[in-house]
Structure 1
């Protein structure tokens, strides 16, 4: 493990942790309009992936990259994400209303929703998401099928982020950073 540089208070691991938290906070701010959520998470994954090449993972670099990439495809992906979440929530509400076969339908809707969430998050982690969402989603769908362990890790990362946000609400603003780090690590693990 490399030694601390002169004037450095914490070691390199703590610096990466702080960078992840600052990128997470920047991502949370960028996600507030909801339409920018996929682009914001994709940009966070790109910034964190850049640390392997020695690029800094700072909020300034994050916002510079995000400003350059917001386009119609990013906004369309941003509209699709909440629409899908509302559809799954409505399906689960209808299934819980006591309709015949509602329990089986609720399980099916939950599995489909979890699968769509995994594919969406894995698409955000792919480098192609910076330029072409369709290619990223196709690749992520293939990765989700070929790498069920990675898909399980993505679901665990989402569950952990939700649990942290539920237990301590201010952590909700920091959760996108570790979530982006987790999905990026799953993508890097798949690729390398």
Structure 2
């Protein structure tokens, strides 16, 4: 997906809904231009509940996105989920993957940065723990869980605003907002 010709793009970054996407997030997510799901959907119907302004929803496959865990009859949808996605935004590239294949966990950010040096930011899920690591480039972002299963730090998402010169990340948590 190439959105580099836009002056500004606002993305809602979510992950690890596990079929329990919290409906209280939907009004805020509907205000985003694009919604990015970093894996572990478990129910493709959740993608249909996401209605960003442009209609663009990007999702990647997580370790729990398997034929055994998805509803019967959705195998074709599951097979179309990529392991990684690239979105070209104003000011750089956003890479998305679930992160479960990048181990050990203690070196995950370093390994993701080496794997995607062309990115301005990398989004991953898997841990259910919200992380905004902007200490080095590319940034490494984990939106935490947008579902009700193991939502460490609260159910929420990350809001990424991208322009040609400035990228800004904000954590949006159901109990309130905090900026980074």
TM-score > 0.5 by shorter chain: no
* Higher strand proportion: 2
- Larger Cα-atom Rg: 1
What is the TM-score with the length of structure 1 in the denominator?
0.28
What is the TM-score with the length of structure 2 in the denominator?
0.29
